Chains A and B, each alone.
Chain A
Amino acid sequence: MSKTTEVEKDKKRSIPASAPLMAFFVGLFIYFSVASEYFFDIENFRNIAVALAVTGIVCIPGTLLMIAGQVDLSVGSAAAVSGMIMANMVNKHSIAVGLAVALVFGLTLGIINGFLVTVVGVNSLITTLGGLATLYGIALLIGNGQTVMMRNFEWLGTSQPWGVPLPVLIFTVIAIMGAVSLRKSTYGRSLYAIGSNPNAARVVGIRSNRLLFITFVLSSVGAALAGAVLCSQLSAADPNAARGLELEVITAIVLGGASLAGGRGSMFGTILGLCTIGILNNGLILLDVPTFWQRVAQGLMLIIAVSFDSLRQKLNNQRS
């Protein structure tokens, strides 16, 4: 009897990990609502959601990777290549061929990343940093450094079934699948275990390499899909359109409480981090802050988020 009350008392006392971010988000939200008359508006919220959807699609598998202690920096360039492929294929053949080739590209890239990390044993940061540079070059090569215009492919980026923009719908479906498998499936739970202690995960019989491989594939396929959505939104494929996507993704995930060291994090946190970035960008635009300052604000966000992460680790170490 006394044992259960003690446990309950303690549950009340412990603050959820995402509480500080929640407070920051709410504060920012209230500030922009007061500071700009255009902010608190359904149409504006829809804009924010559309702007976030592309990043969001990449963030979901990105969170899975980060929890397992890995990172994928090649997503931005991969999205760019995927967009260039789409544009060329749509113009020459059809939308179906374009989508198919772009997804096959994502699959192939994921297999290469997964192979290098799990079989060859290259550190994922290095592997995907190489991918970032190489793929950006390839994106420039495909279009000769130019933006490629394309016709009749707006539905993926701009159609609104039931009044909801299609990219937001796609993101929502992926996010729900990601959240459920992270929390409830053996796959998701194993990712936490791998990130928390890779050696122990191996010893307890978790097939770490196989699971990491799958996750790298998911990440690249997500990036390819995001690239397709993006070029459909723009009606053009621009090799520079997705530059910096990887930074935005990592900022959102780390802001959401995932640890760069692995073993911690949640989909809810990532989505909250994503929304924070979204309203920050949107609010700054509405307040007429020059776009360059938005870049500065995002960079600062990343630094603050990472500092939070290491501070949290330090505190935890001290307490144990």
Chain B
Amino acid sequence: MNVDLAHLKDIRKSFNGVEVLHGVDLTLAPGEVLALLGENGAGKSTLVKILAGDIPPTSGSITIADTELARLDVYQARQLGVRMIFQELNDAPSLSVAENIFLGQWPGSKGFVAWGDMREKAREILKRLEVDIDVDAQAGSLRVGERQILEIARALTQNAKILVLDEPTAALSNAEVERLFIVMDQLKKQGVGMIYITHRLDEVSRVADRVQVLRDGNSVLTVDAKGAQREVLVTAMLGHEALKNARPAAVTTSGNGLEIKNFSSGDDFNDVSMTINAGEVVCLFGKIGSGSSEVLESIYGLRPVTGGSVHIFGKEFKPKSPQESSSSGIGYLPADRQRLGSFASRSVAENLAVASWKAMSRLGFVDAGNEVKAFSRWSDALKISARRGPTQEIATLSGGNQQKVLLGRWFEAKVQVLLLVEPTRGVDVGARRDIYDIIRRQAKESGMAVLVATSDYEEVVLLADRALVMSRGKIVSEFTGNSVDANSLISAAS
């Protein structure tokens, strides 16, 4: 008799002859939360996709609820009670929120959907997560964080026995994350076993019972979550000790880079004013719906502006379309990398170079060699792991590595103003530090003005010269220098 809910044994997996999992074991008990950690490309998503029947292992065995299976398909996995929240959004953007929550198993009978019933149930679930989302809204019109909450809501409707959460909180602020944890506590009591993948180490002790760390496709550490020290976990992930987290050294900057005055957009934000110096990095911190990412969208011309003005290095700029903004020297990294960022079927080199084609080309012709050079420049600096080199399709990279390619795109493009929304969504702790260093160094060296919208307070502390906190569409407070710290940020935002 086995007490485990799930047991993966000696799992190996190769893609095109390259092995990415080298014999990994994993067990999960009822009512247990297992945190799965590891650097980008360590194999976390691949391992849990195997458990969910999404991809077959090359070798190894899978035991779920005392049934040993050599092969498992998605359908079987569902029958056995495995539910998964994938790392990338998996919704139908043109359907309503309620339809998305019940995607594929709409309540009703005889082939007819019981609409009233469905909307009622959807409302209940969203209330349980304490979010204010209209069940009739189109999913595609929501913010990335809200769509992540829909994914969570969907997993909750399905009476899981085993629930896998692959970075469900990557674009959520601590307030929303805490609500998810409360729901997870309830599920725990019902005996649901959960695997929780995250790059935010402070979440581990709050939510997990056990921690397992993967490094380069091997399981390198499994310990109790209680008393697991951050340093120990980081060292296991990276294979060496990490730098201490600390505020960056203060640098004085001057000269107006980006200036916005009385900037408004409908109900989303109101009367927002700020000035970012040339070379300065400013973080706009706020929860979902605070309006922080919307400000960036409006500056870039993706969202209508209803009032106010924008100046770029002293020149008036009227946001009209992304094309206009990009040719005026603005770069923009969207939060939704699948839909708005990456060209899935194209190579990593092309994805990285696309914003620099104009600069790289002569008489309208691009030299592919330049693209490759640009890629190697940033793949080393950002530690992008693309095993097949510059020609690998971006869709076959791990989530965090795709994000690094999109960051590299804007570092290579040498813009005057850089707008970043959740820049390190899904990026591991090690690379995160490097990315902050690069953003700061690029800003200081080229005099670029950088505005970052983020829901991660740690990011603000490690990256910002100055922090602005937004709440309900307004800037509510400002912190500079050493006054930027986690506690004041969190209390200002709530």
Contacts and interface: CB of A to CB of B under 8 A. Distances in A.
Interface residues of A, number: 32
B96 interface: no
- Interface of chain A, main secondary structure: helix
B302 A197 contact: no
Interface stretch (A112-120, A187-195, A294-302): A187-195
A1 interface: no
A318 B55 CA distance: 7
Contact of A10 (B334, B345, B387): B387
Interface stretch (A83-91, A203-211, A282-290): A203-211
Contact of B323 (A184, A197, A207, A320): A207
B340 A203 contact: yes
Interface string B333-368: 010000111111110001000110110010011111
A263 B332 CA distance: 22
Given A10-B17, A189-B350, A205-B325, A199 B340 contact: yes
B18 interface: yes
Contacts of A319: 15, 55, 396
Nearest to A180: B365
A14 B387 CA distance: 13
A189 B357 contact: yes
Nearest to B390: A7
Interface in A219-268: 259, 263-264
A202 B339 CA distance: 11
Nearest to B341: A200
Contact of B365 (A186, A200, A205, A318): A186
Contact of A192 (B18, B302, B346, B409): B346
Interface in B353-402: 354-355, 357-358, 361, 364-368, 387-389, 391, 395-396
Contacts of B367: 184
Contacts, number: 98
A13 interface: yes
Contacts of B322: 202-205
Given A6-B387, A7-B389, A202-B323, A197 B343 contact: yes
B361 A186 contact: yes
A200 B342 contact: yes
B138 interface: no
A196 interface: yes
A213 to B, nearest CB: 14
B16 interface: yes
A200 B340 contact: yes
Interface in B151-207: none
A186 B343 contact: no
B327 interface: yes
Contacts of A7: 387-389
A104 to B, nearest CB: 26
A185 B342 contact: no
Nearest to A194: B343
A120 to B, nearest CB: 18
B285 to A, nearest CB: 23
Interface string A163-204: 000000000000000000000111101101100110111111
23 contacts: A10-B18, A10-B387, A11-B388, A11-B389, A13-B16, A14-B388, A185-B364, A186-B358, A192-B346, A193-B343, A196-B346, A197-B342, A200-B339, A200-B341, A203-B334, A203-B340, A203-B341, A206-B323, A206-B354, A263-B343, A263-B345, A263-B346, A319-B396
Interface of A: 6-7, 10-11, 13-14, 184-187, 189-190, 192-193, 196-197, 199-207, 259, 263-264, 316, 318-320
